[in-house]
Amino acid sequence: MRTVRLPDGEEVPVLGQGTWFMGESPAERAAEVRALCHGLDLGMTLIDTAEMYGEGGAEEVVGEAIRGRREEVFLVSKVYPHNASRTGAIAACERSLKRLGTDRIDLYLLHWRGRHPLAETVAAFERLKRDGKIRHWGMSNLDADELEELWAVPDGSSCAADQVLYNLARRGIEWDLLPWCRERGVPVMAYSPIEQARLPTDGILAEIGRCHGRSAFQVALAWVLSRPGVIAIPKASRIEHVTANRAALDLVLRPEDLAALDRAFPPPTRKQPLAML
């Protein structure tokens, strides 16, 4: 498993597991738990979740999957913006810890920006760090100018990651956000790295896939995984999909493959609004 380095030097897997849409159906819970456990077996030990996903249901699924294996896992969760006040984030974190069945979250993110000032959220995160409830904190869905604003508040430069939408069809962050983060050694976590399976499965992705004996989606995921300083967190609730995601990590795209993908999915030529799903 390749790794990406956090600002403090800790290394985390470049390929993790997302849980958006998990925890919403009791009938799917056992399969979701099995999929996450299978991912852990394959070395995909970074698991990303949020209090928003299934209104806590995804955190409960994750808690079941990591029971007895907590020391293997780098656990990421997120706080709702309306809970991200100085006291609200602390209470929300306590609720997440209970659902996850653990005493600590490895990386705690602000899910997106809301009405509470960033300085308040950072103060809460720093308190949670001092209390041992979280080990690192970061942001989600913040653009480069917002990260500049964050860096200006007390302890704002302690941000350990920014999680944003990034895939072949959503390359806007390459104009400014991705270089900004690389310059400061802050990893970017790419959610929906295959656009929730909406990328075209014909054309160049299929053509490159045939050359390598892989699917179009594996090519798209391999492309994200080839980006320096980027962590991909695809969601898979079936064992076969987890296995396919892990296999994408071993796919090495050739220079001609990358050039063809640039022609089909051009990089940005100007600043674009930060994309979100």
Contact partners, residue 26, CB within 8 Å, separation at least 6: none
Q: Are 47 and 36 in contact (CB under 8 A)?
A: yes
| Rounded Cα–Cα distance for residues 127 and 87 (Å) | 10
Q: Which of 53, 108, 166, 191 is catalytic?
A: 53
Assess whether 191 carries a catalytic annotation: no
Closest CA to 274 of 119, 165, 184, 169: 165
| Rounded Cα–Cα distance for residues 232 and 224 (Å) | 7
| Burial of 115: CB neighbours in 10 Å, binned 0-12, 13-18, 19+ | exposed
What are the catalytic residues? Answer: 53
